[in-house]
Structure 1
Amino acid sequence: MAVTQQLARVTAEYLALCRTRAEESSDGDHQWDPSEADCLDLDWAPVMLERACRFAGVSEVHLAALRQATDGGVAMDVDFLNAHPHAIGPFGPAPAALEPLAVWRVCGLLGEMDLQAVLEVLPLDIHEAGALIGHGAEGLGDGARTYLMDHFEALREFYAGASERGLAVVSWWD
């Protein structure tokens, strides 16, 4: 199974409950189990999205928001999710989270991004576009443009839902 970028929308209260469970459990079990409806698997899209945006000259502010949207931040302590034997992302960097205010800010910046304009800068040939982006994009059956647009739209919608509901977003690789 491939290691892919995962996101979950949760309340601050749910994170506090998981932290308490981990502290009270003899083996640190936080019982992390967010609703499937509030989870998003971004596959390997984050690195490819960033590379395409860099190639197209997207501003540093928007690139930083894209990175925060996928890699989280240090705004919330979620170290308890990284404790053995119950680590939620044992194959990548430690889980990270954005608090609701940061989610709102990132959501606004993602909403300002015109990914269609980014994709128009890429070569039309799917193999050339994939080779330019790298990270396996050259092997995408429908091409990098479709893959990136689908994943970016899913990310933008995910953050819009989190922002509207005042939720935090936790990210990890699993």
Structure 2
Amino acid sequence: MAVTQQLARVSAEYLAACRTRAEESSDGFHQWDPPEADCLDLDWAPALLERACEIAGVSEVHLAALGQATEGGVAMDVRFLNAHPHAIGPFGPAPAALEPLAVRQVSGLLGEIDVQAVLAVLPLDVREAGTLIGHGAEGLVDGPRTYLMGHFEALRGFYAEASQRGFAVVSWWD
């Protein structure tokens, strides 16, 4: 099983309930299990998306928002999700989260990124575009453009809904 970037959009109440269960459990069991409809598997897309945006000259503000969208932030304490033996992301950095206000800001900035313009900067040759992006993009079956478009649109839509619902977003690698 490959280690991939995972996101979940959850309410502050859900996070608080998981935290309380972890604190009250003798072994820190938080019972983290957000609904599948509120989870997003970004595969290995974060590094590829960031690199493509760098190549295209996307602004630092928008690059930072993209990074926050996938890496989370430090404003919310979700350390309880990283406690052994119930860690949700034991193969990568500790889980991180963005609070609802940050989710709204990130969602707005993701909405401003012109992904078509980003992809237009890449070479037309699939292999050449993949080599330029790096991070294994040259081996993507449908090519970097299709892969990046699908994952960026999924990320943008995921954040738009989280923002509309007033949810936090938790990120981890699993």
CA–CA separation in structure 1 for the residues paired with 2:115 and 2:101: 24
Residues of 2 paired with 1:48 and 1:54: CA distance?
A: 10
Asked if 1:123 corresponds to 2:123, the answer is yes
- The separation in 2 between residues aligned to 1:132 and 1:98, in whole angstroms, is 31
Is 1:78 matched with 2:81?
no
Counterpart of 1:104 in 2: which secondary structure? helix
User: How many Å separate the matches in 1 of 2:100 and 2:141?
Assistant: 36
How far the C-alpha of 1:136 sits from its partner, in A, is: 1.1
Map of 2:110 onto structure 1: 110
3-state DSSP class of the match of 1:102? Answer: helix
Once the two structures are superposed, residues 23-55 of structure 1 have per-residue CA deviations (whole angstroms, 9 ceiling, x without a partner) of 000100000000000000000000000000001
**How far apart, CA to CA, are the structure 1 residues paired with 2:148 and 2:32?**
29
The aligned amino acid for 2:68 is: Q
CA separation in 2, counterparts of 1:88 and 1:118? Answer: 33
Counterpart in 2 of 1:23?
23
Runs of 4+ in 1 over 2 A off after TM superposition: none
Q: CA deviation at 1:153?
A: 0.1
The aligned residue for residue 54 of structure 1 is 54
Q: CA deviation at 1:4?
A: 0.2
Give the CA deviation at 1:90. 0.2
**Shift of the alpha carbon at 1:92?**
0.2
What value does the CA root-mean-square deviation take over the aligned residues? Answer: 0.4
Show the counterpart of 2:89: 89
Q: How far 1:100 sits from its partner (Å)?
A: 0.3
TM-score when normalising by structure 2 = 0.99
* Aligned partner letter, 2:107: C
Partner of 1:32: 32
Question: CA offsets per residue over residues 97-117 of structure 1, 9 Å max, x none?
Answer: 000000000000000000110
What is the Cα deviation at residue 60 of structure 1?
0.2
**Where in structure 2 are the equivalents of 1:141-156 lying within 5 Å?**
141-156=141-156
Query: Structure 1 length as normaliser, TM-score?
Result: 0.99
What secondary structure, in the 3-state scheme, does the structure 2 residue paired with 1:80 have?
Answer: helix
Counterpart amino acid of residue 23 in structure 1: E
What is the CA deviation profile of residues 5-28 of structure 1, one whole-angstrom value per residue up to 9, with x for unaligned ones? 000000001000000000000100
Structure 2: 5+ residue stretches without partners: none
Q: SS at the partner of 1:42?
A: strand
Distance in 2 between residues matched to 1:27 and 1:136, nearest whole Å: 39
Asked if residue 63 in structure 1 is aligned to residue 63 in structure 2, the reply is: yes
Do structure 1's residue 5 and structure 2's residue 10 form an aligned pair? Answer: no
- The residue aligned with 1:42 is 42
Identity %: 84
**1-structure distance, mates of 2:157, 2:42:** 12
Q: Helix, strand or coil: the match of 2:85?
A: coil
